[in-house]
Amino acid sequence: MTRTAPSPKLFMIAAAALLIAACESDSGDSDLYQSEAPSTTQDTSNQQNVGAGTRNNNVRELPYEPGSGEELEAVAGSRVYFGFDRYDLTARAQQTLRDQAAFMRKYPRVSVLVEGHADERGTREYNLALGARRANAAKRFLVSLGIDPNRIRTISYGKERPEAIGSNERSWAQNRRGVTVVQ
């Protein structure tokens, strides 16, 4: 090891790791959305013993680029879900959006696209309008948390891009969603 000080990049990764730890510990219903996020972070902290006089190697390297969609998925979750014909944000959706806002504050140059989706019940044109409402409800909440509205674009897909296929309540619930996509 020739470097005498950790690189700024390493700091950033460490900070991200700390933030993840913070998010996971202080949000009461984190398990609700954590299950939707793939657990792809590699924890290397326990792989070797740290002896006296050596560098503290308690670092985990995250398998995604800083500020990427993968990171958003990991630290916040990209999806919020809505009730039938509803566009109000549930407590769980608000928490996801708070985490998304924290991510956007951390990466001020990141812009996002918020997609609004509807389930297959309901007519095509109304569902386009409903998807727009949902995307916009998420955007408004992010803006209320201090995010610049110019960093958030919205699009409605109505019922055109379902994620779960099946004419049943479980699939419909999965498809009534807002999806935040890092641009």
Partner 1 sequence: MIIGKNMTGRGLLGMVCAVLMAVAWLVVTPSASAQLRVDVTEANVEPLPIALPAFEGKSQISDRQQDMAVIGQDIAGVIAANLERSGLFRSLPSNAFIERDPSPDRRPRFADWRPINAQGLVVGGVEFMTDGRIDVVFRLWDVFAQQQMIGVRYQTTPDNWRQIAHRISDAIYERLTGESGYFDTRIVYVAETGPQTDRTKRLAIMDQDGANHQYLTRGDFLALTPRFSPTAQEITYMSFFNDTPRVYIYNLDSGKQELLGDFDGMTFAPRFSPDGNKVVMSLERNGNSDIFIMDLRTRDIRQLTDHPDIDTAPSFSPEGDRIVFESDRGGSQQIYVMNQDGSGVKRISFGKGRYKTPVWSPRGDLIAFTHSSGGRYSIGVMRPDGSRERFLTESFLDEGPTWSPNGRVLMFFRQRPFDDRGEGGSYSVWSIDLTGRNERRIPTPGDASDPAWSPLIR
Answer yes or no: are the C-beta atoms of 126 and 166 closer than 8 Å.
Answer: no
Question: Is residue 165 near partner 1 by the rule CB under 8 A?
Answer: yes
Question: Within positions 92 to 121, which residues make up the interface with partner 1, using CB under 8 A?
Answer: 120-121
166 binds partner 1 (CB under 8 A): yes
Q: 26: closest CA among 110, 133, 99, 87?
A: 99
The reply to whether 150 sits near partner 1 by the rule CB under 8 A is no
Segment 3 to 62, residues that bind partner 1, using CB under 8 A? none
150 CB-near residues (< 8 Å, 6+ apart): 111
Q: How many angstroms separate the CA atoms of 22 and 15, rounded?
A: 10
Structure tokens at 119: 């389930």
Distance of CA 161 to the CA centre of its chain: 19
Q: Counting contacts by CB under 8 A, is residue 76 touching partner 1?
A: no
DSSP string, 74-101: HHT-SEEE--TT--SPPHHHHHHHHHHH
Q: Candidates 62, 110, 137, 152: give the one binding partner 1 (CB under 8 A).
A: 137
The CB-of-135 to partner 1 minimum distance in angstroms stands at 7
Size of the site for partner 1 (CB under 8 A): 32
The yes or no reply on residue 164 touching partner 1 (CB under 8 A) is: yes
Beta bridge partners of 182: 112
Smallest gap from residue 164 Cβ to partner 1 (A): 8
Q: How far is the CB of 150 from partner 1 (least distance, A)?
A: 12
Candidates 41, 96, 100, 154; binder of partner 1 (CB under 8 A) is 154
Considering only 21-29, 34-42, 45-53, 125-133, which stretch makes contact with partner 1 by CB under 8 A? 125-133
Residue closer to partner 1 by CB (options 22, 164) is 164
Q: How far apart are CA 154 and CA 147, in angstroms?
A: 14
Nearest alpha carbon to residue 76 among 170, 151, 180, 148: 180
Question: Are the CB atoms for 75 and 103 separated by under 8 Å?
Answer: yes
Binding site for partner 1 (CB under 8 A): 85, 87, 120-126, 128-130, 132-133, 135-137, 139-140, 154-156, 160-168, 171
